Structure 1
């Protein structure tokens, strides 16, 4: 049998994309009552490779926090200057922010560099398995509505997803420790109340603790 369906839910449906895709199989299989949990884990060798990467770049793995400034469209990107401010605040909390970037992220990375912020390490052009291993190692992850945010969530990493125009009901990451912050536009600013301070507070809450020595 052949099943033909929309790849994404109709806007009026407001059903998570994972459930939508499961429902496309309803002619063949009864859909589960809940979206099954998904978990991806690196191998021991991959985790060791992530630890080596951290040491080679002067990053303490115990303080690692991943940031991803990119997304599939400029409207979905939290402003670069706010990411730079967040990075600085994370450093003040004793954490070690690492900004992820790849071939699809040149505009986002250029915007971040243009802020003049220096309180982060760049991790460029890593493979998906390397990104999975770094995510599994990290204290937490902050990103936009993007594929890497979903990857971090299913790695079990405390994940904070920043949503602007997209609908979190449809696109929120699915993970055991994931949270979505939705921006409320203010005065023509689409990211309005989603300030670095608000994001930092939410991140520290899901990550559990800062990297400061007791």
Structure 2
């Protein structure tokens, strides 16, 4: 399942064609509830990534030119629950890097 915000609306057809359930236009309390139940999340350097981390969701946060040392989300699990991937430009981060990082969190959560 994927939660899309207004900035990601152009990606909706890609996920739907792949058969991925899409949630959109959610209020922040609903996003927090969904994140809390998620095995893991992938987000960018944004408030929603901070919200997901704050409710205890493990995940991968993708950074571009901003400094993750200063701006990375912190969750109750500390550094063990959030993996930062940084690329400048941000699109230099490979899909396989993200998939590899997130698969470790999903495997841990399913135990």
Do they superpose with TM above 0.5? yes
Select which of 91, 101, 108 maps to 1:202: 101
- Looking at structure 1, the residues matched to 58 and 86 of structure 2 have their Cα atoms a distance apart, in angstroms, of 17
Q: Considering only aligned residues, what root-mean-square deviation do their CA atoms show, in Å?
A: 2.1
Structure 2 unmatched ranges of 5 or more = none
Could you say which structure has the higher helix fraction? 2
Structure 1 segment 52-201 matched on structure 2, within 5 A: 98-102=1-5, 105=6, 107-110=7-10, 112-113=11-12, 115=14, 117-175=17-75, 176=77, 177-185=81-89, 190-192=90-92, 194-201=93-100
Change (3 A) 1:113 1:129: closer
Alpha-carbon offset, residue 122 of structure 1:
1.2
TM-score, structure 1 as length reference: 0.44
Q: Rg larger in 1 or in 2?
A: 1
Moved over 2 A (4+): 113-119, 206-211
